[in-house]
Structure 1
Amino acid sequence: AVKIPVTVKCRIGVDEQDPEPALDALTDGVFDAGADALWVHARKAWLEGLSPKENRDIPPLDYNRVYRLKVRKHNEFIGINGGIQSIEEAQKHLGHVDGAMLGRAAYHTPGILAGVDAAFYGVQSEPFDFAALIDAMADYAARHIEQGGRLGHVTRHMVGLFHGLPGARRYRQILSTDATKPGAGPDVLKTAYAAVEFGGAAAEAA
């Protein structure tokens, strides 16, 4: 036994399994073993015929199967995952289950996380300080480069940060080209940020 919470993440089934009895049996075993929560990716996993990448998108989503599981295990924590692209979608799922997981959406468009506190906890925070974030990441990139790394190792995870804002395309272009060049430094990140427009004005980084 351990003193920290134990969670399990699974699919609704594998290959030719019937998701109804298969997921019920797995869930019973998970909670009988003492787990604290079960997160269910609402797709089957096809181990025969699909690659790991294809398994992320090709098997159809079946959110209702996860909802039915929560009805059956109403006293246990059941979270849902798979294809959730926005805070609004997550809120809809929370009408049926205990948690909603943003996976690739949080990676590809991390700016959406700035609205989590207001949407789920009613906390009205100050507008997010993206300039301070860029400065902090530029400092981090400088240290990474000094240790033998490259700027692209850092910036490739920031490409979707300003998705949906004017100038975001130019921001992505700069990071995708200039940041990958040999010898590229943190100034490239600040140049890219300057292309983004907030409320009609170009961004400024210190």
Structure 2
Amino acid sequence: MKHIKRLKDISIASGVGAIIAFGLAGCGESDSTNTAQTIQKQGATVFIEKTSDGSYKIADEFPSNDTRVFLRESDANGVMSERLLSQAEIDKLLQEENAKIDAGTSGLTNSNLSSGNGGLGLGEAILASAAGAIIGSWIGSKLFNNPTYQNSRQGAYNNPSAYNRSVNSFNKASTATSATKAGSNARSGFFGGGSGSGSTQATGG
């Protein structure tokens, strides 16, 4: 779908917004930048759980090759099931959430509607997740520059350990990506041999 491809292109281009949206507590500026780039380039798999009160929480998320959102919910007998949300479902949810943000009725951006401890709808939970930095980046500064959104994000997880697991997994992926780039630069840069010999020839008589 052209629309989806365009949104992905925008998300990659809007690095600053994603960095602010997924600016992780305890990280330095360079770490946050690397983490945001990892999310954008590698993708994220997110598991969202419907709670007993009908709201949604982020149960788990981690870096992956593709960006996917799974929904976990219990039936009338309390049996938990899990399914992958289709792109059409996600698009519909985000369009609805975008309209709420514009109307000032979203718990993500309206401090009077958000307790910071949950009570999020499914679209809100998606935007609060790592996947939201990719598929929801087209909403842009409506979220990323909003302090209520930052508070809502941290309260959107099942528990603090789920949030910490997410932080650690993306930080590790970011560190691995940085190490790979550093190794590649070392082989092809000043210490790779080619540049040095060229420099010697240029300064020789």
**Higher helix proportion, which one?**
2
Kindly indicate whether structure 1 or structure 2 has the higher relative contact order, using CA contacts under 8 Å at least 6 residues apart: 2
Which TM bucket (shorter chain)? under 0.3
